[in-house]
Amino acid sequence: MAEHGLSIKKTQLQSKYDVIIIGAGIGGLVSGAFLAKSGKKTLVVEQHNIPGGYCTSFKRKGYVFDSAVHHIGGCSKHSIVGRCMKELGIELEFFGLDPMDSLVFPSFSIDIPADIDSYKSSLQQRYPAEKENISRFFDELIKLYRAIINESENSPTLERHRGHTYGAMLDSFFDDPELKTVLAGQWGYLGSPAREISSTGMCQMLVNYLRDGAFYPKGGTQNFANAFARSLRDSGGDLLLSSRVEEIFLKDNRVTGVRLDSGKEISAEYVVSNIDARQTFFDLIKEEVDRTYLDRMRGMKVSPSYFLLYLGLDPALDLSDFRRGFYHSPNDQWKYISAPTKVDKSLAPKGGQEITVVATIEEKYDDIEDWKDLKDRHTKGTIRYLEDFVPNLSKHIEVIEAATPRTLERYTLNSKGAAYGWAVTLEQSGPGRPGNKTPVDNLYLAGHWTNPGPGVCAVVSSGWRVANMILRNER
């Protein structure tokens, strides 16, 4: 899925930049695009041969598969991603997804419409005894979202929920256990169940999705990443692919530049790290850094990783009744199953179809010795599971690919294939997550290891925020 002309050659590298960004995940690309547009001499360095991090696609036998991200929130023109693209002059076609998701539980299923009012009404019809509470809950969710986005520190709504889990928030509104299960049914997007996740983290994700639905970039998620990479390049910024940053240099607690795996040293006024925060502070920086900050980071919990299955299927398989969304099993296990070709037929050759799965795994990364065995077992088990919903599926498979936490780690260097950076628990959200500004002067963090948190919409916001912080600092 490489697009020619995005990367400069190593020989074109300059010896000094205003800003070097490590990692061409969406957070890094957005930061880079804004800084380059504002006239900063900007370099983005990426170890993979394509930009996008988790927002990339790959091709097998003519089928285009999205590596990880399956849809994006906040892309309408008034929401964060839409506004960001408008500012950068990026034009990209999206398919709007409606319903945005389905929730499939062992004993019932429910569709989530791509509009918060329709969702509210459908829940009120299904749970009439909770009608008033549902109204109050959605009003509160919107108020809380506004308080978070406007950073209204003194907001009583924020005060009521900050420091509480999303589970506690649901308990304070509802009695019906099934309704609470439904309203928590998308927790997989942040990787921690309702009893652990912060109400503010869940609120941001839900409102971003529920307000105007979810969006799929035409042609695959790689097109989304490429659009930001092209914007960076069009504004005069440099993107260097297939190069890894191996050291960040500091002098008197201030960044001075980086060393690449080729040995080349490049100086910079600012460095933005869009990579695993632990890699940044424990591997790339050799000098002494604020000990309290590092000790806190050492004690932090990393988000889970997943098993992924990608199937290319022949045109004869009937997927007309298939529902995209979270399929829940007991013990906090779920699979997110989608059929991207039902949204965008151009992803497969000659009427072909696709099913992709993101699945929780019970095995712990450090306990896994035989990764091939893990991949084979989960591939077979997931296909068996899918056949309950799509009979005879295995007779129609033309392409099978699978990925494990180790695959995700290899392609993005997120440690243990962490899907969302730090785990989104109560303790590690908002002020509990390392901020965009670090204790090292002129070193900033953008992406899902910092605020506001994981998901494409959130990392767009973090990349944009960091660009503004640097520009403000300069002024």
Interface ranges with ligand FAD (CB under 6 A): 22-28, 45-48, 53-55, 68-72, 244-245, 274-275, 279, 306, 308, 358, 408, 412-414, 419-420, 447-448, 454-457, 459
- Of 201 and 454, the one with the shorter C-beta distance to ligand FAD is 454
Contact 320, 357 (CB under 8 A): no
Q: How far is the CB of 117 from ligand FAD (least distance, A)?
A: 23
Alpha-carbon gap, residue 404 to 16, rounded angstroms = 38
- Half-sphere exposure of residue 108: CA atoms within 13 angstroms, side-chain side: 8
- Of 100 and 419, the one with the shorter C-beta distance to ligand FAD is 419
Taking Cα atoms as reference points, which of 65, 11, 113, 120 lies closest to residue 312? Answer: 65
Alpha-carbon gap, residue 151 to 66, rounded angstroms = 34
- Of 131 and 406, the one with the shorter C-beta distance to ligand FAD is 406
- Of 24 and 289, the one with the shorter C-beta distance to ligand FAD is 24
- Of 221 and 235, the one with the shorter C-beta distance to ligand FAD is 221
Q: Hey, which residues does 432 pair with through a beta bridge?
A: none
Q: How far is the CB of 419 from ligand FAD (least distance, A)?
A: 3
Contact 308, 359 (CB under 8 A): yes
Alpha-carbon gap, residue 454 to 447, rounded angstroms = 7
As given in the structure block, the two tokens for residue 262 are: 């080729």
Q: How far is the CB of 434 from ligand FAD (least distance, A)?
A: 13
Q: How far is the CB of 24 from ligand FAD (least distance, A)?
A: 5
Alpha-carbon gap, residue 45 to 52, rounded angstroms = 12
Which amino acid does the sequence have at 11? T
Q: How far is the CB of 453 from ligand FAD (least distance, A)?
A: 8
> What count of other Cβ atoms lies within 10 Å of the Cβ of residue 369?
7
Q: Are strands 265-273 and 254-260 parallel, antiparallel or unpaired?
A: antiparallel
Q: How far is the CB of 361 from ligand FAD (least distance, A)?
A: 12
- Of 23 and 257, the one with the shorter C-beta distance to ligand FAD is 23
Contact 77, 69 (CB under 8 A): no
Q: How far is the CB of 133 from ligand FAD (least distance, A)?
A: 29
Alpha-carbon gap, residue 87 to 68, rounded angstroms = 26
Q: How far is the CB of 475 from ligand FAD (least distance, A)?
A: 26
DSSP for 168-212 reads HHHHHH---HHHHHHHTTTGGGTTS-TTTBBHHHHHHHHHHHHHH
- Of 55 and 134, the one with the shorter C-beta distance to ligand FAD is 55
Alpha-carbon gap, residue 71 to 7, rounded angstroms = 26
Q: How far is the CB of 357 from ligand FAD (least distance, A)?
A: 10
Q: Name the strand (E) or helix (H) holding 420.
A: none
- Of 412 and 442, the one with the shorter C-beta distance to ligand FAD is 412
The contacts of residue 31 (CB under 8 Å, 6+ apart) are 19, 21, 272, 274, 446, 463, 464, 466, 467
Q: How far is the CB of 405 from ligand FAD (least distance, A)?
A: 9
- Of 237 and 455, the one with the shorter C-beta distance to ligand FAD is 455
Q: How far is the CB of 251 from ligand FAD (least distance, A)?
A: 20
Contact 221, 69 (CB under 8 A): yes
Alpha-carbon gap, residue 18 to 398, rounded angstroms = 49
Contact 53, 408 (CB under 8 A): no
Sequence-ordered alpha helix ranges (H) in 26-67? 26-37
As given in the structure block, the two tokens for residue 443 are: 């070193």
Q: Name the strand (E) or helix (H) holding 48.
A: none
- Of 157 and 425, the one with the shorter C-beta distance to ligand FAD is 425
- Of 157 and 415, the one with the shorter C-beta distance to ligand FAD is 415
Q: How far is the CB of 138 from ligand FAD (least distance, A)?
A: 22
- Of 71 and 396, the one with the shorter C-beta distance to ligand FAD is 71
Alpha-carbon gap, residue 114 to 144, rounded angstroms = 20
